[in-house]
Each structure stands twice: as structure tokens, then as C-alpha cells.
Amino acid sequence: MAAPNSTDRSPAGRWRDIMERWLSRRAPAARSVGLDHGKLFILPTRAGMAFLLVIALLWLLATNYENNLVFALTFLLVSLFAVLPVHTFANLSGVQLQLLEARPAFAGDYAEARIEVGREGQRSRERIRIFWPPEEGAELDLCEQSRAEVQVALPVIKRGRQRAPRLRVESRFPLGLFRCWSPVDLDIEFLVYPRPKSAGPLPVGAAVGEGESEQKLRGGDDFAGLKPYRPGDSLRHLAWKQYAGGRDLYSKEYESGADARLWLDWDLLAGRDVETRLSNLCHWALQAEREQTPYGLRLPGSEIAPALGNPHLQRVLGALALFPVQGA
């Protein structure tokens, strides 16, 4: 459930609270949402209002000239205006949204949510826009294919877990004179990493790990054994002798005994404020990953052993993101 901050006591704020409460009863947060009449709203757009004005002018023209053909045209446009909301509504009704993934992002950047949009029945849907209101969002059609995937971006500013506001699913199909929309809460929560801020070169050797957690790392000089060859393995490491002996292709594995591990330590950055420290650690972690230097993280109260690779990076960045906010 969304937790609207109830400290806002201005009338507008209270009104927003009431709306939000009403909406969350009508369209509760869920990772998978089907749009139906209970969740869809429809109103004419500004172009629709202008269209009405044109109709009024045409009616005046017709009445003053007692011209039945102009009358016919006027009524045709009136009927068109009456038919349109049905199409606009039908275009969104029965559309299903499912959150596939809420990708983590760095603060100050855009966080992306991958959303799968599907439809019920065979009716094609067009020009469905999914966005967080001031943003552009994504637009898609469901014509031949019955489901599609879109990525919607939301700017995130604060580090930590961020609940996304309600997504807006909107369509102005077919003529743009009506706007049908639905505020959808897909229960999206982004993990926002601190914004990376450079703090000089990597602190290599600044803090050496203790002997007990020493680990063998791949990619060293000491021969460690054979493993079945996989495409992509270096040809230099092929076990040609075994291959010539009639066995399958194997790669030789090497390990390194030297400790090239790097500790990104909270205490290295003493004297800066919390957020800056986190930002600096974040920058280092990214840099170490880029340079393929195994790195670990030490924060007050937690520690992540040195390693490399994407999962490790995620873990490190996650720890940085969820570091408690000072003063909270």
C-alpha cells in the first residue's frame, strides 16, 4: 500500500490524500493489473474541446443559412464525438500490465521499470502511453503481437529504496480528442544506488585483507587443473597434450595466490559526510569492477568479501544504497 505522507495539511494536500486513498481502494497496488471500467477514467482533451467549439460554430452556420447539408455535417461531427469515447475506452479496457523488473539505478539518474503489456481478446490496441506524469514514458501498439515489453523511466534523486508513484497508462486513440487513462500502481520499488562521485584513484593496498579470508582467485599463474573446454576460453590455455591423446578438449585452469584484493573501506573516507562517503565508495566499486580488480566493501556493521562480477557489484551497490540515512 502506498503510504501518503499525511503531514501535508494544506487543502490541496488533504485532497490528494483523499484521492490517493480512494484510488488505492479502487486500484490497489499489484504487480499485475488488468484495466477495466473500474479503473479507467475518460475525458475530452483540449483538442476535443476545440472540436466541440467547431461543432458549435458549424451549428451557427447551419442555422443562420438554414443549410441542411451543414446541419448534416454538424450532426455527423456530433455523432463522431459521441462514438469516439467508446473507441478510446475500448482501446485501454482489457489491457494488462505486469511488472517484470524494476532495475536499480544511481541517484540523479533514471530508474527503469520493465513492464509487460498484454491484452485480452484479439482486439488490437494502439498508441498506449505508459509514463510517470511529467515524464515522456513509452508508447506502444499491440496489433499483431498480443503482448509487448516496454521500459519506463523515472528520475530518482534519493538513495535507498524508492517507491515509484502511480504510473499513468493513457491513450488518445483514435483521434486524440479523448483521453482515457488509468493511474496504475504496479507496486514498483526501485533500489537507488548512491550517485557515484570520484574520490581519487582506487585505494589499492590501503587496507589489506586478513589472512583468514584469503581465497584463491582465478586467472593467476599456478596450474590448478583441467576443465572441459567451453567456447570463449583462451586458446593459449587449451590442454593440447590431452587433446592429442584422444580425449576431448580441455582448458587448463590457473589460479593466483597473490592477494590483489581491494577493500573499499568506510573508514578510508573519514571526515566527509555520509552521503559523500557512500558516493565515493560507489564510484570506487564501479571503477574496480571496470578494471577487473577484486574488491570488497567494509561499512560500519557490515562487510562484503572481495570478489568480482556483476552479482557481486550488485551486492556491493545494494549495501551502499540501503545504508541507513543519517539522522533517521
Kindly list the residues in this chain that would bind another protein in the complex (CB under 8 A): 28, 30, 32, 34, 36-37, 46-47, 50-51, 53-54, 57-58, 60-80, 82-84, 86-87, 89-90, 93-94, 96, 119-123, 126-127, 134, 136, 139, 141, 143, 146-147, 149, 172-177, 228, 247-248, 250
Least distance to another protein, CB of residue 37, Å:
7
- The residue among 66 and 212 lying less far from another protein, judged by its C-beta, is 66
Strands (E), 132-279: 138-142, 147-155, 160-163, 167-171, 178-184, 189-193, 217-228, 250-256, 262-265
Alpha helices per DSSP H over the chain = 11-26, 46-65, 68-92, 240-244, 274-290, 310-321
CA-wise closest residue to 102 among 193, 187, 4? 187
Least distance to another protein, CB of residue 108, Å:
21
* Residues 283, 198 contacting (CB under 8 angstroms): yes
- The residue among 14 and 46 lying less far from another protein, judged by its C-beta, is 46
Distance CA 103, CA 24 (A): 24
CA-wise closest residue to 124 among 151, 94, 81, 97? 94
- The residue among 92 and 217 lying less far from another protein, judged by its C-beta, is 92
Residue 193 burial class via C-beta count within 10 angstroms: exposed 0-12, middle 13-18, buried 19 and up: buried
Least distance to another protein, CB of residue 52, Å:
10
* Residues 213, 305 contacting (CB under 8 angstroms): yes
* Residues 263, 208 contacting (CB under 8 angstroms): yes
Least distance to another protein, CB of residue 12, Å:
21
| Angle between helical axes of 310-321 and 274-290 (0-180°, round to 10) | 180
- The residue among 86 and 206 lying less far from another protein, judged by its C-beta, is 86
Least distance to another protein, CB of residue 93, Å:
5
Least distance to another protein, CB of residue 13, Å:
25
- The residue among 29 and 268 lying less far from another protein, judged by its C-beta, is 29
- The residue among 65 and 223 lying less far from another protein, judged by its C-beta, is 65
End-to-end CA distance of the chain: 22
Least distance to another protein, CB of residue 280, Å:
34
- The residue among 135 and 273 lying less far from another protein, judged by its C-beta, is 135
